[in-house]
Amino acid sequence: MALHTELEIYKGAEELLSVTLDLVRNIPRDLKQIVGAKIRDESLQVMVLIGRANMARNKLPHLNELLESIWMINYLLRALTNKGLISKGQHAQAMKLTASIGKQANAWRKSATAPVA
């Protein structure tokens, strides 16, 4: 079993955290405390859940929760974009990362549920 910090999905999650921290830096203070904190917390949660899934025998609960966190990040980023608080380019950059993490998590989930041959 590889260290979770060496997995591609984890590297993508680290980059997502970095991007989201930069995105929320310039949003208004009232939204930064609510939306910005939630995006930051969900991004950190993604990284924690990758580690938990990597160590667990039953990976499914962690991977399902990871996918929920990705959905939450997507919803919040879309709201910020719709309000004009982040640019469409910034949104696209973050969405590229969440899509990559989501695809990897879904593939990991699929392999975790596959019957052992």
Q: What is the model's pLDDT at position 6? A: 78
**Architecture of the CATH domain 11-107:** Up-down Bundle (1.20)
Q: What percent of the chain has pLDDT over 90?
A: 81
Cα–Cα distance for residue pair 102/67, rounded to 1 Å: 6
Task: Tell me the CA end-to-end span of the chain in Å, nearest whole number.
Answer: 19
Task: Give the mean pLDDT of 45-74.
Answer: 95
pLDDT at 78 over 70: yes
Q: Where are the domains of the chain?
A: 11-107
Q: What is the pLDDT of residues 6-51, one digit of tens each?
A: 789 999 999 999 999 999 888 999 888 899 999 999 999 999 999 9
pTM reported for the whole predicted model = 0.90
Q: What is the model's pLDDT at position 112? A: 85
